[in-house]
Amino acid sequence: MTSKKVYAILIAGLLSLTPNLQLPVSAQSLTDMSPIQISHMEDIHIEKYENMRNFPNPYSDEGKEWLEKTLAPKTEQNEIQLLDYDYREDIYEQLVQYEEEHPSAHPREVYDFFIQLCKLYNRQHMQHPLKQASPIKSDGSDGFYPIDHGRIKLDADLTRLYNSDPVTGFKSLLAREEAVKTTISLFKQIGHQDHTEAFLEMATNVYLIRYTNSYLWAKYWTKYPALSGDEKNSVHRNQQLQAMNANNALVGRLAASNANITIKSTPNEIKTLLFHIYYSGELMKLYKSDVDGEDYAKTFTGHFEDIPSTRKVTN
């Protein structure tokens, strides 16, 4: 039996065992909706995840104390400069442990603990490294953000967003890295404006909701895609790229919310959802028109034959 057939059987089995997932409306109908209609639709999902936070009543004594902590000045500025991303595994492990042990901790308390971790796991501060770093280097062309010697280089917009909530910003970096790794493990590469980039942007939003537990944050973070338009492109092409990325991000967020993805979701649940979305016909990529030669963002339906590993024949 070929590995292609084996793979098809495995995927079919995974999908059959999964509850009927409520995927969003088709991508074509999304493009027909006005920005206001889409915004109203997303507000429902935003509220859903915000309600999971269980913040205290703002009019109670506890709520007033909560607000005072929220408005208190932060201890650091430009926190992205404190992060040595090569120690992300150690930082994340201890951060998750702290959050699990302190489920009622105020976000500012989590922030203070995270800043301590950034200073502890940082080669500029450590006299004796506690653990071996896991170096990662990227110039930004592989789908991740530019990084060198642990220093992430975000654009001005993402830097401001990261610094507004460094804990969630850090988790967003992990989400993007996992989306990149998943895409490359399946397709062996990430192309430009094709089905692989469509999968990457969709997967990024699914992982963002999984890591951050916030639909609103995922929406804001992916307003600034890592693979953005080229200044050499025409205005038309950059508009089509923007439409493609916005659609794929939106489809990923809606599907993740409809599938109730949270930090407790398992890797198998996430990957099964990713396959569902890829095969749904809701993602977009660029097609060159035979009429005017211009590129246009249009929906496509993914197939398991798109994945290189399914085309290998074993003896």
Find out whether 250 and 174 touch, Cβ atoms under 8 Å: no
pLDDT in tens, 196-242: 999 999 999 999 999 999 999 999 999 876 655 566 778 888 888 88
Evaluate whether residue 172 is within a structural domain: no
pLDDT at 176: 96
Mean pLDDT of 111-134: 79
Neighbours of 12 (CB within 10 A): 11
Query: In this structure, are 89 and 199 located in the same domain?
Result: no
Query: In this structure, are 130 and 215 located in the same domain?
Result: no
Please provide residue 238's backbone torsions phi and psi, each rounded to the nearest 5 degrees.
-65, -35
Query: In this structure, are 269 and 239 located in the same domain?
Result: yes
Residues in the chain: 315
Query: In this structure, are 146 and 244 located in the same domain?
Result: no
Query: In this structure, are 103 and 251 located in the same domain?
Result: no
Query: In this structure, are 217 and 304 located in the same domain?
Result: yes
Look over the chain and give the mean of its residue pLDDT values, rounded to a whole number: 84
Find out whether 209 and 215 touch, Cβ atoms under 8 Å: yes
> Which of 98, 118, 153 finishes a domain?
153
Please say whether the dihedral angle defined by the alpha carbons of residues 226, 269, 8 and 279, taken in this order, is positive or negative. Answer: negative
Number of domains in the chain: 2
* Residues 272-276: contacts with CB under 8 Å, at least 24 apart: 272/14, 272/15, 272/18, 273/18, 273/21, 273/206, 274/182, 274/199, 274/202, 274/203, 274/206, 275/11, 275/14, 275/15, 276/15, 276/18, 276/21, 276/23
For residue 94, give its domain range. 75-153
Query: In this structure, are 18 and 82 located in the same domain?
Result: no
Evaluate whether residue 170 is within a structural domain: no
> Which of 85, 119, 153 finishes a domain?
153
Q: Tell me: pLDDT of 180 over 70.
A: yes
Q: Tell me: pLDDT of 291 over 80.
A: yes
Beta-bridge partner residues of 296: 287
Query: In this structure, are 140 and 185 located in the same domain?
Result: no
